[in-house]
Amino acid sequence: MSAAEVAARLTGLEVVRTRSSGSLVEAEVADGWVVVKHAPGAAVAEAAGLRWLASADAVPVVGVRGFDDEWLVLDHVVSARPTVAAARSFGLGLARLHAAGAPAFGSPPPGGPVEAWIGRAPMANVTGAEWPRWYAEQRVLPYVRRAVDGGVLDGGEAGVFERACSLFASVAGPAEPPARLHGDLWNGNVLWTADGVCLIDPAAHGGHRETDLAMLHLFGCPHLEEMLAAYDSAAPLAAGWRARVALHQLFPLLVHAVLFGRSYAVQALAAARELL
C-alpha cells in the first residue's frame, strides 16, 4: 500500500499530493500536510505514547491523525530556530510532564503494549516497585545481554555492568515516584517550532525523571542549561543529580550499542566504570 493510500485511509481525507522527506513521506490533505510513517510492530506503542504524553497538557506533542499495526499518520511540524525563551518554556513543561506521573516504574501508556520499542530496539514495559532494581533488571541488563549476543561486548565487560548494577541502590539518590517519561529524549526528538518545542518519537513509560534529562545531556540540546534551570525552578532536582547522569545514560548508551555497535559500547563501559 502506498503512503498516499495509507494517509487517505487513516485520516478519511483525500490526498492532494505527496513528497519525500528523508525516510518519511509527507502527504497533503484537505487541512494541511501530514507525515506518513511505516513502523511495523511499533506503531501502536508510539501512538499510545504520544497520546499519553499529550494528555498531561504539559509539552506540545505531535498529533496522531491515525494509526494501525504498521502505520502512523502524524501532524506535520514546521521547524524554527531554537531560542532561549523556547528552551525555558520547554524546561517548565517537561517538569509538568514528569509530574503527571505513571502508575509504576516500567508501566506502559494506556493502550500501549508491554512489548514496546525504543527506536528500532525492543523495550519491555514490565513494572517494578523500586527504581534501582527495576532499572537494572529491565533497562540495563537486557541490553547488556543483547550486546554480548551481538558481539559488541564480551563476557568480562558484561561483568562490569553487573557489578555496577549491584551498586544502583546506593548511588541512585533519594527515592522518587514514577515520572511520565518521553523515554527517548534526544535532540532529534525535540523539534523547535515558532511556538516552542514539540516532542516526537517517544518510548514512553513510567521511569525516573533524571533519565530524560540524562539523555538530553548525552546527545546535546540547544540552550540546555537554560532549559535545566527552568526545570529545576519548577521541580527542584535532588542534590547530586549531575553526578548521577552517567547512571541514567547507561540505558540509552546500551541501546545504541545494540543498534549501532562498538563505539557506543565503549561509552557505556566508561559510564558503568564511573559507578564502581
pLDDT category at 219 given cuts 50, 70, 90 is confident
Q: What is the pLDDT of residues 196-205, one digit of tens each?
A: 999 999 999 9
Three cell numbers written together for 22: 528523508
pLDDT at 22: 79
162 vs 108, 133, 140, 142, 181, CA distance in Å?
Answer: 26, 12, 9, 11, 25
What count of residues does the chain have? 276
pLDDT at 75 over 90: yes
Mean per-residue pLDDT, 228-256: 98
| pTM of the full structure | 0.96
Mean per-residue pLDDT, 161-176: 97
pLDDT at 136 over 90: yes
pLDDT category at 173 given cuts 50, 70, 90 is very high
In angstroms, rounded to a whole number, what is the distance separating the alpha carbons of residues 261 and 177?
A: 33
Q: Where are the alpha helices (DSSP H) in the chain?
A: 3-11, 43-55, 84-99, 131-134, 141-149, 155-165, 168-171, 209-219, 224-234, 245-260, 262-274
Mean per-residue pLDDT, 256-263: 96
Q: What is the pLDDT of residues 44-71, one digit of tens each?
A: 999 999 999 999 999 999 999 999 999 9
- Radius of gyration over alpha carbons of the chain, in Å? 19
62 vs 33, 254, 272, CA distance in Å?
Answer: 13, 27, 34
> Which range, 18-22, 180-184, 215-219, has the best average confidence (pLDDT)?
180-184
